[in-house]
Amino acid sequence: MSASAVFELACEVLEAESDLSRLEARGTIRLALKKAGLEAHAIDRDQMCVVTEKILPEELVARGIEPRAVLPTLVRRLRSLTGDTSKRVSPESIFRKLAGDA
């Protein structure tokens, strides 16, 4: 399946704002999504914002990237997206799933 526009935007911004290559940026975001129990083809804006704020910082630190240098731009760009941003899964349910309570 193809990735969502939200995933594509997040990857583009991460690549532009860091020293990561295109492949590294995509892999980093895919790993963060996997930790949240989400997939690139089904992620919406609100879900990606939660993953960006809660999970992605750890992935960036592991790659030697200062999250504060990248994440504000990424979150701002994600929040500027319009269109279908309906929540398929609430942020709370993502974290319940991560905690093993889902």
pLDDT tens track for 49-95? 999 999 999 999 999 999 999 999 999 999 998 765 444 556 666 67
At residue 98, the pLDDT reads 78
| pLDDT over 90 (residue 27) | yes
This prediction's pTM: 0.77
- Select the more confidently predicted residue: 44 or 2: 44
* Farthest-apart Cα atoms in the chain, separation: 36
Give how far the C-alpha of residue 74 lies from the chain's centroid of Cα atoms, to the nearest Å: 9
Check residue 86 and give its pLDDT: 41
Burial 28-49 (b: 16+ CB within 10 A, else e): bbbebbebbebebeebbbbbbb
Give the DSSP letter of residue 42: T
Q: What is the predicted pLDDT for the residue at 39? A: 92
